[in-house]
Amino acid sequence: MQRLRINDDIKPLSEVRTGIANYIRQVRDTKRPIIITQHGKSVAVLVDSIEYEAMQEKIELLTEIQKSLSQIENGQGIDHGDAMEMVLKRTVK
């Protein structure tokens, strides 16, 4: 996802409502999200669907990495050699 440009990518709901097709095209073409405001406060973000999927995948990966790091810190990790041995036992039959 491209970095947000504050002057270009923050729009009031009333403006988005009247030109939604243009904003969808902008998000798709620029890969930048649009922050939608209502009464001067941000209320929603319009994001390209492919960019959204990529964000979800990154979040899942980072969550798994954090979980793994916590397990290692708590002594729940497996030595690399032991892990490799376990994998090889499963694959070589």
CATH for 6-48, among 3.20.20.20, 3.30.450.20, 3.30.420.130, 3.40.1620.10? Answer: 3.40.1620.10
Q: For 12-62, how does the pLDDT look when each residue is reduced to its tens digit (9 = 90+)?
A: 999 999 999 999 999 999 999 999 999 999 999 999 999 999 999 999 999
Give the Cβ contact number of residue 40 at 10 Å: 6
CB-based contacts of 11, cutoff 8 Å, min separation 6: 23, 34, 35, 36, 37
In this prediction, residues 81-89 reach a mean pLDDT of 89
- pLDDT for 60 equals 97
Give the residue with greater pLDDT, 10 vs 7. 10
Determine the average pLDDT of the residues in 74-91: 88
Break the chain into its structural domains and give their ranges: 6-48
72's tokens: 């290692």
pTM to 2 decimals? 0.68
Which of 3-12, 34-43, 67-76 ranks highest by mean pLDDT? 34-43
Q: What is the pLDDT of residue 93?
A: 61
Distance CA(43)–CA(34), nearest Å, equals 11
Instruction: Find the length of the chain.
Output: 93
The more confident residue out of 89 and 57 is 57
